[in-house]
Amino acid sequence: MPDKKEKKEHQPLKWTFPEYIKYERRRGWYFWTLLIALIIIIHSLLTANWLFALIIIMLGIILVINHRAEPATMEFEINHDGIKLSGKSYRYNEINKFWIIYNPPEVKSLYFDMKSPLHPRLTVPLEKENPVEVKSFLRQYLVEDLEQEQEPFSDTFGRVFKL
């Protein structure tokens, strides 16, 4: 249950982070990715699965474009009204719960489970923020999900395969 007794004693927290992590990829990563993509495309063409081949080609184009672009800097703020991510505000009544996964140096993330089915989870890198301060501030308004002990599979997958 959110702590109501210490409301407004905490100062709002604000920090910036890159929109996404731009991984340094070695030649081997590109070689294996290209080889796997070619095998999938050839298999798709041989089985007349044209749409899947097109999707794989489009994913390759997106990876190339994404690699060439620099990530935008996102501004994040936790205040007494809600949270704000690069100008988009979310009031606390739009959020179910939050949790923090803190396993430095790989994982330092703050997660919000949104009430809207169209926006189920918001992930915010903690960067150099103190997770105890963030948790203390958010517990005034939101329930903390203490059952979450690992980062979501999609985040682990993206980090391990440098996507």
pLDDT tens string 92-135: 999 999 999 998 888 899 999 999 888 889 999 998 899 999 99
Are 143 and 101 within 8 A, CB to CB? no
With 0.85 as the threshold, say if the pTM is over it.
no
